[in-house]
Amino acid sequence: VTYIILIINLIIVYLIISEKGYRSYFLLVILGGYSSNLFDRLYFNAVPDFIDLNYNGFHWFIFNVADIFITIGIICLIIAELVVYKKVK
């Protein structure tokens, strides 16, 4: 898993360097989340998830701040691509 995360980090760094405009900021947010998870995996041998959403005993997701950054970055990239696609069409 660590090697896969490292490869993904390298791909994102390449995309950031080759990308111009707002997309590079979204990729930086994703890179920050991936880097945080990579650090936790290398330092602690695990990625601690400590935010637990539950409602009336129903546990939904358990995640950490890095996961939030990754999710927000990906959602922003998807929205940006949809906006560009609508403008082109």
> ∠ at Cα 63 (62, 64), nearest 5°?
145
How far are the Cα atoms of 3, 23, 80 from residue 76, in angstroms, in the given order?
26, 9, 6
Q: Is 49 a catalytic residue?
A: yes
Residue in 67, 71, 74, 80 annotated catalytic: 67
- Which is the catalytic residue, given 49, 64, 74, 77? 49
Active-site residue, 52 included: no
Rounded to whole angstroms, the Cα distance separating 89 from 23 reads: 20
Task: Give residues with Cβ within 8 angstroms of 62, minimum separation 6.
Answer: 49, 50, 51, 52, 53
User: Which residues are tagged catalytic?
Assistant: 49, 67
